[in-house]
Amino acid sequence: MTRFSLGAGRWAWLLAAAIVLAALAAADGRIRSLVGNTALLVLGTWLVSLPLGTLAAILFARTDLGARRAAAALLGAILFVPLYLHAAAWEAGFGLQGWATLALGRGVWLEGFWAAVWIHGIASVPWVALIVGTGLRLVEPELEEQALLDGSPGAVLVRVTLPASRGAVGAAALWVAVTTASEIAVTDLFGVRTFAEEIYTQTAIGPQEVRGALVGPPGFLPTLCVTALAVLGGLVVLLAITSAGRPPTLRGPFLYRLGRWSPIATAIVALGILLVVGIPAINLVSKAGIVVSQTAAGRVRAWSLEKSLRLVGGAPWRYREEFGWTILIGALAATVAVFAGTILAWIARFEGIGRKLVWTLVAAGLAAPGPVIGLVVIWLL
């Protein structure tokens, strides 16, 4: 693999353009507030998802933990759960009408900005585990075995394995930032104003004049450009730190033996699965079984196992048409994405204008909030 040089002077235009565009965007106080909310949301999501996801990746991909494949499969299944269903599951337990909120009577546990951070963070854990786990499995076992001659397994993990996987951690962080900043399902539910949601709202109701300035997608162009340049800079840095020039290996990954730490690691994984998978599932099942009866004393809430089983068990058949369309559209979208991505990746292998165009297209696509992409597709069709 050819070593990629970051070349600070070569990419100085990125920083200069970002500074100029950021100054233009920052002139509007409303945009400053929206971008600040978005940045804080991304930062909070990182603080939740990166540590949990990286720990899961280490335990699943590089240790001899028992039942790690089953645990990884459970975590991987969450990748197919839509973000709004994550939000609904946590809202069903700890929101305004959540069962825990009503049962304990101590106020709403999950609301506002911190609710959005928590849900985005928990929903991103499987993605971090997948991306970082893939990077961990690609570390050359020869390097680790040589390092084990001079140090303990823990030292090798910290000094060799994790540094060799820093590109995967960076890719996971970039992916989490992009998906968090471009989504509006959770922020809309909990009333958090972000850049993506504002674009969608202003586009839906039409441009409005605020303090003499046109607010809407056209007025947000400098911020979109800054975001695209930031993503492009992240891609450049990731490519620089991952192209180490080490020859590929055909050997499988080296597994760290947990030994006496195995029970503790198993307990940690069990708690993690309960947090990411178990509690949301319990919340949904509990919500599905709620029955409200009218009595002389007023309305009485109760829980029915029969109703819960009927609703949850009958959902696959009741919504079979929707599931079918979802699978078909997802399969077609994945096919197109893989085909187009393969072509773009092949073009980007070679120096020249083609690589720069590919990077620009990728950065623009990642930086554009989901509502913008949807509106563009509608406009094209």
Task: Tell me the pTM.
Answer: 0.83
Does 296 fall in a domain? no
Does 379 fall in a domain? no
Does 300 fall in a domain? no
Quick one: pLDDT at residue 100?
A: 83
Does 258 fall in a domain? yes
SS (HEC) of the chain: CCCCCCCCCCCHHHHHHHHHHHHHHHCCHHHHHHHHHHHHHHHHHHHHHHHHHHHHHHHHHHECCCCHHHHHHHHHHHHHCCHHHHHHHHHHHHCCCCHHHHHHCCCCCCCHHHHHHHHHHHHHHHHHHHHHHHHHHCCCHHHHHHHHCCCCHHHHHHHHHHHHCHHHHHHHHHHHHHHHHHCCHHHHHCCCCCHHHHHHHHHHHCCEEECCEEECCHHHHHHHHHHHHHHHHHHHHHHHHHCCCCCCCCCCCCCECCHHHHHHHHHHHHHHHHHHHHHHHHHHHHHHCEEEEEECCEEEEEECHHHHHHHHHHHHHHCHHHHHHHHHHHHHHHHHHHHHHHHHHHHHCCCCHHHHHHHHHHHHHHHCCHHHHHHHHHHHC
Does 27 fall in a domain? yes
The stretches in the chain having pLDDT less than 70 are 1-29, 203-224, 226, 229, 236-250, 370-372, 375-376, 381
Quick one: pLDDT at residue 142?
A: 84
Does 223 fall in a domain? yes
Nearest to 86 by CA among 270, 315, 276, 371: 276
Does 340 fall in a domain? no
Quick one: pLDDT at residue 117?
A: 95
Instruction: Tell me the residue range of the domain where 265 lies.
Output: 12-290
Quick one: pLDDT at residue 1?
A: 45
Name the region of 107 (left: φ>0; alpha: ψ -120 to 50; beta: rest). Answer: left
What CATH number is attached to the domain comprising 251?
1.10.3720.10
Does 316 fall in a domain? no
Quick one: pLDDT at residue 214?
A: 40
The total of structural domains in the chain comes to: 1
Is the CB of residue 285 less than 8 Å from the CB of residue 308? yes
